A and B are shown apart, each in its own frame.
Chain A
């Protein structure tokens, strides 16, 4: 097959130039700064609070998306109802809509004078500029992941399995819980991990609705931006490396889930 040199050259050159060298620059900066230096920067109340906030709310949002995403995938594959195609296409909107647009749109809706915000304010509930607002933005950006990973698996389920379960006397609920759900789990967990990874690093959709109060509603990516605006490159790099490590750890978990489920089910 021809083109080995050309395709390998383009692939490796561009991968290095666009992705690997810049990430290398971050790691190099961290190396010259030293582990004690990184630890000193990260080990501050404000940084811990931001990392913990980002991770905790991302986890909540990913759990919500896991449950809602599986339900949505089931509804889209198994049921026929008017508007199904529109609903199916709408699931991808969070992927297509720029995050800054999503951010200001959600803020306009959930601010105290917004359509939903006013309703919530009526019962004394503040959503925008609190952690609820951040949760909402993270649910929005992570919405498609679980549905899109689970949908193809549901499509491939053989009806015979469900029929066998029914003839053996299982109720429908029993079949769903003990036959269908285990089959969906690996794909759902992959989607969950993807949604979590996306949420931890999310910036654009969150900063508008967050209020950005240090220790309360300040997310980790915003801290990096603040440090950069003050030309504090060492501190920015330290927080960046901490976040990069979290991302790598999650990437590892995603791969482990896929290996595990491939061994169990045969595909993901």
Chain B
């Protein structure tokens, strides 16, 4: 009965079916052209000479060392940034002090700095021409054009990810549960492990996921500090650039396809987290 009625009379708070389908059409077409087409292009280009050629190009020594380097960089920089994020969120949400807003602005700063400028900053700080860098190089610990510089550049551009995800969640959860645990005699560390951590674990995972995706894919900042030494300081994105500029299209797009798969897995896990634990995430939940 009511179905027949709604078919005839549109609610006053809805657009006409025509307007609705035009809007949906524009949205779908836009995303298809802007997002899905490049996505397909990566795999199409990687497979122009078949699956065998694509896999063979990944088995190449330079590709292997690039993959290994990218994994090492993520394995160092992501846990460090996660530790920072937890510490910063604890400091900001559990204590009252002046200049809190300013501190949050400083933590967010890397998001508004160009990755190339970020790399430049690290070169100026630790390059051979600088005071600190010159001394470190002389003592046998080069930073720029070596692994530490790439890690620093990666940490710079991914710096806010975890903290920014945890802070809103921890503000919303308040301090009462921790205070209760402490009153009952739990140590600070135990309170964190058994009360705070379970409350923030999904938000933490969410932040780590985004941080990792960016860490493995960072190009601009790393391009400046890496020196692009084949087999030594060439990460996956840097190797993609080198192969592409040498017109080794299949090899470049095969590596790119691998990073695209990582991006897709990241999106899948992120969407799953948003569906299952929406109430414990900052991105999908408003206070």
Contact = CB atoms under 8 A, between A and B. Distances in A.
A101 B218 CA distance: 10
Contact of A75 (B23, B123, B256): B23
Interface residues of A, number: 94
A86 B238 CA distance: 30
A192 interface: no
A154 interface: no
Query: A25, A87, A88, A163: which has the most chain B beta carbons within 10 Å?
Result: A25
Nearest to A105: B38
B253 interface: yes
Nearest to B118: A22
B259 A2 contact: no
Interface string B13-38: 11110011001101110110111111
Dominant secondary structure at the B interface: helix
Given A75-B23, A98-B216, A221-B220, A240 B45 contact: no
Dominant secondary structure at the A interface: helix
Given A18-B159, A106-B38, A75 B24 contact: yes
Nearest to A23: B121
A216 interface: no
A213 interface: no
Interface size class of B (residues with CB under 8 A): 35 or more
B202 interface: no
A59 interface: no
B156 A98 contact: no
Interface of B: 12-16, 19-20, 23-24, 26-28, 30-31, 33-39, 41-42, 45, 80, 83-84, 87-88, 90-92, 94-95, 103, 105-107, 109-118, 120-125, 127, 129-130, 152, 155-156, 159, 175, 178-179, 182, 187-188, 191-192, 210, 213, 216-220, 223-224, 236-238, 240-241, 244, 249, 252-253, 256, 259-260, 263-264, 266-268, 270-271, 283-284, 286
Interface of A: 1-4, 6-8, 10-11, 14-15, 18-26, 28-29, 68, 71-72, 74-76, 79, 81, 83, 85, 87-102, 104-106, 108-109, 114-116, 139-140, 143, 148, 152, 156, 159, 162-163, 166-167, 172, 175-176, 197, 200-204, 208, 221-222, 224-225, 228, 233, 236-237, 240, 243-244, 247-248, 250-251, 255, 267
15 contacts: A6-B87, A10-B84, A18-B159, A19-B106, A24-B125, A68-B26, A71-B23, A100-B241, A104-B244, A140-B34, A203-B114, A204-B223, A225-B116, A240-B116, A267-B286
